[in-house]
Chains A and B, each alone.
Chain A
Amino acid sequence: MTGPVGDRPEAGSTAERVPAVEAVDVSRTYQLDGVSVEALRGVSLIVHPGDYVALVGPSGSGKSTLMHLLGGLDRPTGGRLVIGGRDVNALSPPEMATLRNETIGFVFQAFHLLPRTSAVENVALPLVYRGVPARQRRERAAAMLGRVGLGHRLDHRPNQMSGGEQQRVAIARALVTEPTVLLADEPTGNLDSVTGAAVLELLEQLNAESGVALVLVTHDQEVAGRAARRITMRDGVVVTDSDDPHDRPLSVDHDRPETLVPAPSAEPRSVSGSGPGHPSGGSGGAAGATGRLPQEPAPGGAEVGRPGGVA
């Protein structure tokens, strides 16, 4: 294996860590029936290895677009996006695919497991595109399934597993390539609260153990509150970032009452969640988040009613 996997120890050892993903003034405009739609308008952020970030915002806020960009599934129409040290705009589609394979792990709301395919084969899928021999693929996939607590269900098919188990398989698939960033798009959205909490804990545990950056897209405030760092989006811009890498002043006035209360457990969790590789920045950011958030406006009306529906 080459590339980012080789880069990572180096990144951890240097004082100024190499960002896993860096977006500088990134915009994304779609053409829909001849009309330009600006999904993202100048987003800048840095995700470091080991970060635990929640990306929140109402639907249409651009958080999915941002997640697709961070995952290398899409390219910005403006600005600079660097994933694993490589400028996305300089890469061809096959190079983008290789970049995704080597640096990104995806977890989707709808699991996106291949039907009629066993858990171990689903997990091994990314290794197929890396050219890993079949025997090794199976060994690594089985080991990964063991880590997510499904060592006993290797040959079960998705339709023989519960939703929580399917999402664990998806998490194993995302991590089997040892990526630097794990992008989870509403990973608990299709699960009941108990199962969802367990899946979330698993993600947090893996984030803490392996140093993979965890980016969680969610509208669930309780879920978002567990993250060390929280990025709120609205109308294609980042409204708040509890760990703004550019330290730019937040452009939002404090004239609206805060309707969202961050989870009380946010601070201690975020400290442990950011892991040993993130000692000062993580805790500082988390502290900043709890200090600042109450004064910030609600990201949108859609979210106001949401916390009640989550528990």
Chain B
Amino acid sequence: MRVAEAWRVALDALRANRLRSALTMLGVIIGVASVVLLVAIGTGTKQQVEQQVEGLGSNLLLVVPGKIEVGTAPVVSPLTLKDVDAVTRVVGDPERVAVTVASGATARAGARSDFTTVQGVLETTPTVFTRSLARGRYLTGTDVDTSRRVAVLGDSVARALFPDRDPLGQQVTLAGVRFRVIGVFAPLGQSLGVDRDDEVHVPVTAAQRLWGTQRVDGIAVKAPDRERIDELGERIVAELNRRHPDTEFSAVTQQQILGVLGDILGVLTGVLAAIAGISLLVGGVGVSNIMLVSVRERTREIGLRKAVGARPRDIGVQFLLEAVLLTTIGGLTGMALGVGTALLVDALSPIPAAITWWSLALAFGVSAAVGIVFGVVPAQRAGRLDPVVALRAE
């Protein structure tokens, strides 16, 4: 009963000073809204990346020289197409093995040019990775075997070089060598700010000739099923270690890549939330400040309440509730603002944003906690006021 009364009194006090209450809440609103928004962006980005990694194809095993860990330097690959043959023998199905040798190069068509990534690949790429074409055809086994100078353009490259023409059958010059366009990929969009449509696929043999190398950067294997994926990876790595005793090799699954990326993005989200949390903290200091002012202003009221029988705790609870009410109303408003902004950002900008229930629960909990933490000192001060002094206050 007394608590219900205290709620009513607290709400009344906030209403009596609408502008001041609103301004105090604004600090909390901004803090909570930014926490919700930034966590939403972090979560959205993570989900997008996860979708994209999963969208590469299922049961994928990526074999690369060196270790896949954050902070390790990339290793120059000792792999060649002979190693790819060896891996294919281990896998037992050439359709399941894809390779890449990649390098940046300028692509030209007529007067237009575009700096892009040229990937030397096998004809198996669309099977191993899930890629589909918008137009034309992909590379064939014959294209690879004969090092034919044919190219499949990513959507962005096609738009850059042939904005007003059908690229099929046209010539492009890659690093000074002419290739014929035989196909255009369906667009994939962006991932972590990287344009995934900014690439050109050519036969791996043609790419090696273009750059004068025997090198293969990495091998991708589509495992027949999920259960045997780790065992297959171990066998491939063992075979490669036998062939290249001086180099370490790693076979990573999508799950492992997701784990690493998830960790990075999780840290990023955490940092964003912490930065936003600082503004919430500043909002809390504002609450504390205004509560101290409120205690001072209402000293006579406190004295009167004490005279008619309010115990120190009754007064303390009243002011604490007032602070908590400020921050929770601010918190709820901030949540609404944060969710609204996140939805707008997600809809109107390329930045993905996803609302998670835990971020809302956290933001609300934190704002209530801020009210308690920053309300305690003013509330104690109010509770301890000497009624004689308080009644005399002007």
Contact = CB atoms under 8 A, between A and B. Distances in A.
A106 B308 contact: yes
A119 to B, nearest CB: 15
Nearest to A130: B309
Nearest to B5: A128
A68 to B, nearest CB: 5
A97 B312 contact: yes
A173 B308 contact: yes
Nearest to B313: A94
Interface string A250-290: 00000000000000000000000000000000000000000
A134 B2 contact: no
Interface string B305-324: 11111111110000000000
**Most chain A CB neighbours (cut-off 10 Å) among B16, B303, B313, B388:** B388
Nearest to B312: A93
B1 interface: yes
B12 interface: yes
A93 B308 contact: no
A133 interface: yes
Contact of A97 (B12, B301, B306): B306
B16 A131 contact: no
Contacts, number: 67
B307 A129 contact: no
A125 B308 contact: yes
Interface in B1-58: 1-2, 4-5, 12, 16
Chain B, interface SS category: helix
B180 interface: no
Interface string A98-111: 10111000101000
B309 A106 contact: no
A134 B9 CA distance: 14
Contacts of B311: 93-94, 97-98, 129
B388 A68 contact: yes
Interface string A228-262: 00000000000000000000000000000000000
A100 B387 CA distance: 11
**Most chain A CB neighbours (cut-off 10 Å) among B312, B387, B391:** B387
Contacts of B296: none
Interface in A40-79: 68, 71, 73-74
B15 to A, nearest CB: 8
B116 to A, nearest CB: 70
Contact of A100 (B301, B307, B314): B307
Nearest to A185: B391
Contact of A129 (B2, B4, B12): B2
A71 B307 contact: yes
B304 interface: yes
Interface string A121-142: 0000110111101100000000
Nearest to A99: B309
A101 B311 CA distance: 10
Given A112-B304, A134-B1, A101 B391 contact: no
A132 to B, nearest CB: 8
Contacts of B303: 112
Nearest to B314: A129
Nearest to A170: B304
B300 interface: yes
A126 B309 contact: yes
A198 interface: no
A171 to B, nearest CB: 13
A116 B352 CA distance: 49
Contacts of B386: 74
Contacts of B12: 116-117
A278 B372 CA distance: 53
Nearest to B383: A93
Contact of B310 (A108, A112, A129, A134): A129
A114 interface: yes
A128 B2 contact: yes
A97 B310 contact: yes
A94 B384 CA distance: 11
Contacts of B314: 97, 129
A73 B387 contact: yes
A98 B309 contact: yes
Nearest to A105: B308
A112 B312 contact: no
B304 to A, nearest CB: 4
A118 B4 CA distance: 18
B213 to A, nearest CB: 84
A245 to B, nearest CB: 25
B311 to A, nearest CB: 4
A94 B310 CA distance: 8
Contacts of A129: 2, 305, 308-311, 314
A207 B61 CA distance: 95
A142 B305 CA distance: 19
Contacts of B5: 128, 134
A10 to B, nearest CB: 23
A104 to B, nearest CB: 8
Contacts of A125: 305, 308
B1 A133 contact: yes
Contacts of A97: 306, 309-312, 314
A173 B307 CA distance: 11
A256 B229 CA distance: 115
Interface in A137-179: 173, 177
Nearest to B307: A106
B16 A116 contact: yes
Interface in B119-155: none
A177 to B, nearest CB: 8
A101 B387 contact: no
Contacts of A100: 306-309
A102 B304 CA distance: 15
Given A106-B308, A129-B305, 8 more contacts: A68-B388, A94-B312, A97-B312, A100-B308, A100-B309, A102-B309, A112-B391, A130-B309
11 contacts: A93-B312, A100-B307, A106-B308, A108-B304, A108-B391, A126-B309, A131-B1, A131-B2, A134-B1, A134-B4, A134-B5
Closest 8 CB pairs of A and B: A101-B309, A126-B308, A129-B309, A94-B311, A97-B311, A112-B304, A73-B387, A68-B388
